[in-house]
Amino acid sequence: MLAIETLSWMEMQKLSERLALARAVKQLGISDPNAVRLAHRLVVETVRRRNFIDKFINNVLKQDAISEFNLGVQAFLRLYVYKTRIAKNWSKIDIEEAENIAKLARSILGWKTLQKVEHVLGLLLTQKPTSTLKGAGDEERIGLLTFHPTWFVRYCFKLLGRKEAIAMLEVDMQPSPTYIRLNTLKTDENQILEKIAEDWIKVERVEQLKYTYKVVGAKHPLTRTKSFREGLFYIQDKASCFAAEAANPELGMTLLDVCAAPGAKTTYLAQLMQNKGIIYSIDYSRRRMTVWKKEVARMGVKITVPIIADACNPLPLRIKADIVVLDPPCTSTGAFRKLPSAKWRLTRRSADKMADIQWQMINSCAENVESGGALIYSTCSITVEENEMLVERFLKWHPEFSLVEITPKIGLPGLRGLEKCRRLYPHIHQCNGFFIAKLLKE
């Protein structure tokens, strides 16, 4: 029931997996953490394969299409195909389990509602998955096999070449690795490693980054451990850690962290500054800033000032900062492993629309950079429209800025000749797809 409700919220209000799940949990009054975790996994894995599942269902429906049914029926059909076929690797068919799922759906949605699709439930158990690929062209076929929109496959082919693009698209089918950043504001690194080992968390150090570790095993969910509650670590992708280290802040500096919530960058920048200096953290979302405040408190950060403002407009600060860090909203095309729902909300024009917002933000931020200071621009997108093309345009409009080398030198050079920028790719660097540019104001 929780998974059906979550998928319905996602469809109705274009919410992310986590936001929709939180809303469904509150609506249904569910308090069992195991039920929430199970529902989250079901939702993420079903949404990840949405295009394949929908075409598979439409082949059985024939005259109708899944989109013609109400949101509850759509959600049930998708979950039914995932649970009875995909989770079984398309081989073993458990009739009893399928019947129990159908009974549960009748009790949730009502037998009259489900009656419209009862006749296809048996067919969905017997249809071969290969039927979904019949008549598909090359790009659509790759999209169905790797669970991506056809337009995005075409875009990646042009950007990276067919072979490299397929390697990246295939990695999106797998769960993403989990990284944590140890918080030396609480105690030293070795003591933290001892404490997280007591919580049965096994980690491997990430080379070239200061405090970042890959989680290779955990007995319990990380957020339910004592060391997490004590603020000894932050769950943070290594690409995000790299962006903070690229800023290279010094003790006593004045920083602006723009689009700061939920707090990953703020807390790491404060850690690198050893809580000496000041960070003005700006975000437009009151809800996200509430999370930011909790994270800042949990991590023991003392030098931050929260400001709720829209960075598309001139920032409500007259100060000049030594470093401005801007991580604007983006298409998240580099984070499809973590946010599979983003794939189905985007169109080919989404990157252009997002670049318009990013352009307003980077221009606002430029005004607050001190002479000799730096502007760090980063996104978790792989598109050139949001990254290299935007930086090229910025440099033309702001000749007082120039690109500088980024250290540590992780990832690959930027595209379009912007070799001082850095790019990370999921299939090469085992993290979110990411872009970073460091711009010095002369």
Active site residues: 380
Three-state secondary-structure class, residue 234: strand
Which residue pairs from 66-69 have beta carbons closer than 8 angstroms and sit at least 24 positions apart in sequence? 69/116, 69/117
Q: 225 with 257: CB under 8 angstroms?
A: no
Strand (E) or helix (H) holding 308:
strand 304-308
Whole-number Å distance between alpha carbons of 274 and 272: 5
CB 347 within 8 A of CB 183: no
Question: For residue 280, what are the β-bridge partners?
Answer: 256, 305
Would you state the structure tokens that stand for residue 106, as one six-digit string?
């009748």
Rounded Cα distance between 98 and 84, Å, is: 6
What size, in residues, is the chain? 442
* Residue 116 identity (one-letter amino acid): K
Q: How far is CA 103 from CA 76, 98, 191, in A?
A: 12, 9, 52
CB contact at 8 A, 405 and 412:
no
CA separation for the pair 172, 165 (Å, rounded): 11
CB 382 within 8 Å of CB 426: no
The span from the first CA to the last CA of the chain, in angstroms, equals 58
Radius of gyration of the chain (CA): 23
